[in-house]
Amino acid sequence: MSSGSRLAEPGTPPDPTVPATATATNTAAGTDASCGHPDGVHATARIRATYNGRVTTLPQLRSDGPFHLRRIRTGGRGATVGIIGAMSAPLGGDRLALDITAEDRAELEVTTAAATLALRGPTTAPATYDVRLTAGEHACLRWLPQQLISAAGSNLRQTCTVSLAATSRLLLREEQILGRADEEPGHLVSRIRVHRAGRLLLDQHTAYGDPAPGWDGPSVLDGHRAVGQLLVVDPELDADRAPVLLREGIKDGCAVLAPLAGGPALFATAVAPSSSALRELLDQALGHALGE
Amino acid sequence: MHLDHPVTMPHRHTYSAEPLRADGSPRAFRVGLGGPVGSGKTACVAALCRTLRDRLSLAVVTNDIYTREDAEFLLREAVLPPERITAVETGACPHTAIRDDISANLEAVEHFDETLDPLDLVLVESGGDNLTATFSKGLVDVQIFVIDVSSGDDIPRKGGPGITTADLLVVNKTDLAPYVGADLATMAADAERQRGDLPVVFTSLTSDDGIREIADWITGHLARWRAKAAA
Amino acid sequence: MSRAALLLLADGRFPAGGYAHSGGVEAAVAHNAVHDIHSLEAFCRGRLHTTGLTTAGLAAAAAAGCDPLLLDDAADARTPVPALRAVARKLGRQMMRAARATFPSAELDRLAAERPQGAHQPIVQGVAARAAGLTPRDAACAAAYEAVGGPATAAVRLLSLDPLAASWLLARLSTEADAVAANAAGAAARVETEGPDALPSASSPLLDITAEQHAAWTVRLFAS
Interface test with C, best of A216, A219, A257 (most C CBs within 10 A): A219
What domains are defined for chain C? Answer: 34-215 (1.10.4190)
Instruction: Answer yes or no: are the C-beta atoms of C94 and C30 closer than 8 Å.
Output: no
Residue B4 has pLDDT above 50, yes or no: no
**What sign for the dihedral angle of Cα A12, A18, A22, A23?**
positive
Chains that touch C (3 or more CB pairs under 8 A): A, B
How many Cβ contacts (< 8 angstroms) between chains A and C? Answer: 140
Please write the tens of the pLDDT for every residue from C22-34: 999 999 999 999 9
Closest CA–CA distance from residue A91 to any residue of chain C (Å):
24
- Residues in A closer than 8 angstroms to C216, CB to CB, are 245
DSSP classification of residue B36: B
| Amino acid, single-letter form, for residue B79 | V
What ipTM, to 2 d.p.?
A: 0.96
Q: What is the pLDDT along chain A (292 residues), one digit of tens a residue?
A: 333 334 333 333 334 333 333 333 333 334 444 445 667 899 999 999 999 999 999 999 999 999 999 999 888 899 999 999 878 889 999 999 999 999 999 999 999 999 999 999 888 889 999 999 999 999 999 999 999 999 999 999 999 999 999 999 999 999 999 999 889 999 999 999 999 999 999 999 999 999 999 999 999 999 999 999 999 999 999 888 999 999 988 889 999 999 999 989 999 999 999 999 999 999 999 999 998 7
Judge: A258–C80 Cβ closer than 8 Å, yes or no. yes
**pTM score, two decimals?**
0.89
Using CA atoms, how far apart are residues A45 and A32, in angstroms rounded to an integer?
20
Give the C-alpha distances (Å, rounded to integers) separating B147 from B187, B192, B203, C117. Answer: 11, 15, 11, 38
Short-list B131, B132, B88, CA closest to B110: B88
Closest Cβ–Cβ partner in C100, C154, C219 for B68: C219
Q: Give the nearest partner residue to B103 out of C17, C132, C219, using CB atoms.
A: C17
Q: Answer yes or no: do A262 and C203 touch at CB < 8 A.
A: no
Q: How many CB pairs under 8 A join B and C?
A: 92
Pick A202's closest partner by Cβ from C28, C80, C83: C80
Kindly report the CA angle at C70 between C68 and C75, in degrees rounded to 5?
85
What kind and span of H or E run contains A229?
strand A226-233
Are there at least 3 beta-carbon pairs closer than 8 Å between C and A?
yes
Residues sharing a CB contact under 8 Å with residue C42, sequence separation 6 or more, in sequence order: A214, A216, A217, A218, A219
Contact flag C77-A221 (C-beta cutoff 8 Å): no
Helix (H) / strand (E) containing A130: strand A127-135
* Residues on chain A touching C201 (C-beta within 8 angstroms): 191, 193, 203-205
**Domain residue limits, chain A:** 28-223
Closest to A110 (Cα-Cα) out of A67, A66, A142, A146: A142
Q: Does B97 touch chain C if contact means CB atoms closer than 8 Å?
A: yes
Contact A213, C176 (CB under 8 A): yes
| The CA-based dihedral angle spanning residues B164, B168, B173, B177, taken in that order and rounded to the nearest 10 degrees | 50
Burial label for C61, CB within 10 Å (0-12, 13-18, 19+), is buried
φ, ψ dihedrals at B64, nearest 5°: -70, 155
Tell me the C-alpha to C-alpha distance, in Å, between residue C32 and each of A251, B113, B174. Answer: 10, 40, 45
The partner residue sitting opposite C90, judged by closest CB among B97, B102, B107, is B107
Q: What is the pLDDT of residue A13?
A: 39
Collect all residues from C whose CB is shorter than 8 A from any CB in A. Answer: 24, 28, 31, 33-34, 39, 42-50, 73-74, 76-83, 85, 151, 176, 196-197, 200-210, 212-213, 215-216
CA trace torsion C116, C119, C125, C130 (10° rounding) = -70
- Please indicate whether, in this complex, the C-beta atoms of C15 and B97 are within 8 angstroms of each other: no
